[in-house]
Structure 1
Amino acid sequence: MSREARAAEQDRAAGSRLTRAVDLGEGRYARASIALRLYRSTRRIRAYLRWSQDGETQERYVGEVDAATRAANLTQAWEMAHAAGYVTTETVPSDSWASSPASRAVMSANKGRDTKPEKLLRSALHRHGLRYRVGVRPIPDLRRTADVVFTKARVAVFVDGCYWHGCPEHHRPAKKGATFWREKIAGNRARDAETNEALRNAGWLVLRVWEHEDPDKAAQNVARAVRRRQRTSGVNQS
């Protein structure tokens, strides 16, 4: 398991990245992990909290866990560590751009690929019998990556997050760092418009799906557009 995968596993078990904090005092925190050890002589699993402090690895015994899976054991161990006061939730700095630890964690964890809305749309497209490429540039020389690409039909689909792309229905401006985030979102929208124009000028059909849209309905719209392009161009496959 890669380092990134291990960190994601710990985040899921703890509830978020910010809830894995060991308070070092004076506003400093260390990011902790749970290590599980199976003692073969007793067949018992013990959980240990580990973190780095001043360049040295620290370890603290949390307790025994007895769940059926590794994921459940990690979750159980994190609950025990919080109940014992060994870990806490990291305090957001007063000048942070996020208004709460929860929103900061969500924004920090923002993914550029394989988000839940993307996966749901791809599954729905697959049920329509469509085949496609994922996360590729429609035009190799243009540094724009589409989420779903139908190469032969020349259809590029983008799944846009409501916050990051300024959804007119669900986007809510940040309260802290408002100027920075307003300019950031405006820049994203301008880039989207540039991408649309560049692809259309090259003969591509660009479709954008908001993350809040029903994936089945969105897939129906995409499927109709792809098949229409296939009929028009005489292409039998996507």
Structure 2
Amino acid sequence: MVSYAGLRFQGVTTPQRSKIMSAVRSKRNRSTELRLARILRKHGLSGWRRHLPIFGCPDFTFRAHRTVVFVDGCFWHGCPKCYKCPRTNSDFWTRKVAVNRSRDRLVSRYLRQEGWKVVRIWEHCLRDEEKLVARLRRALCSS
């Protein structure tokens, strides 16, 4: 019996399984966003809001500075330092990550054309708080 997210698939055909799995909704990158929110509060960076309805759904928006911040998961967005393609179904994962990266470039380009400063943070960069906060302060001061 195969189980995913509490769903059991014993005796379920592929089309049925596909329908069930398409109903499973992502929780986005909530843990990394909450981690960055704690870092921002700890270092006194204020004026941000989460999930404002802006093209590309940025994780954090500093409206007064016209700056948006995306926290990109190392696996899902193909971090050059951390990403390792899974051995199983590698063609699918290679395409999936390529599409995600392409969409990231498109979103960043569009937002910059609209006058926003775009900051993209890799998930692994959350480990070095001082360096991360210095980068965000520079981005906010330059806008």
- How has the CA–CA distance of structure 1 residues 157 and 19 changed in structure 2, closer, same or farther, with 3 Å as cutoff? closer
Gaps of 5+ in 2: 12-23
- How has the CA–CA distance of structure 1 residues 200 and 20 changed in structure 2, closer, same or farther, with 3 Å as cutoff? closer
- Counterpart residue identity of residue 64, structure 2: K
- Structure of greater Rg: 1
- Partners in 1 of 2:45 and 2:92 — Cα distance? 40
Query: Structure 1 segments of 4 or more deviating over 2 A?
Result: 17-22, 108-111, 127-131
Q: Report the TM-score when normalising by structure 1.
A: 0.47
More helix by share: 2
Q: 1:198 corresponds to which residue?
A: 110
Q: 1:112 corresponds to which residue?
A: 28
More strand by share: 1
Aligned residues: 126
Task: State the identity as a percent.
Answer: 33
Superposed, 1:50-199 pairs within 5 Å as: 111-115=27-31, 117-131=32-46, 132-138=48-54, 142=55, 144-199=56-111
Deviations 1:101-125 (A, max 9, x none): xxxxxxx89631422x221211111
Query: Once the 2 structures are TM-superposed, how far is the Cα of residue 200 of structure 1 from its aligned partner?
Result: 0.6
- How has the CA–CA distance of structure 1 residues 208 and 171 changed in structure 2, closer, same or farther, with 3 Å as cutoff? same
Deviations 1:170-190 (A, max 9, x none): 111121211111111100000
Question: Aligned-pair RMSD on alpha carbons?
Answer: 2.5
Gaps of 5+ in 1: 1-16, 30-107, 230-238
Q: Report the TM-score when normalising by structure 2.
A: 0.76
